[in-house]
Amino acid sequence: MVVSRDSEVVLGTIICDRCGKFIDTADTNRVIIYYSRCEDDKCSSPEEE
């Protein structure tokens, strides 16, 4: 993944809402954190709380 320091694009950050692991970034027009699920078995399992 290439990150350009010259870009004005602000990246949203996607992190796992279960373990807090960094997952990905997304092009957004402001700084924001999205919560998703990482690929870890204990996080991606569909079980409810």
Point out which residues bind Zn ion (CB under 5 A): 16, 18-19, 21, 38, 40, 43
Please report how close the Cβ of residue 15 comes to Zn ion at its closest, in angstroms. Answer: 8
CB 26 within 8 A of CB 12: yes
Radius of gyration (Cα) for the chain, nearest Å? 13
Which residue matches tokens 């010259």?
A: 6
Nearer to Zn ion, 6 or 46 (CB): 46
Nearer to Zn ion, 10 or 22 (CB): 22
Nearer to Zn ion, 12 or 18 (CB): 18
CA distance 45 to 48: 9
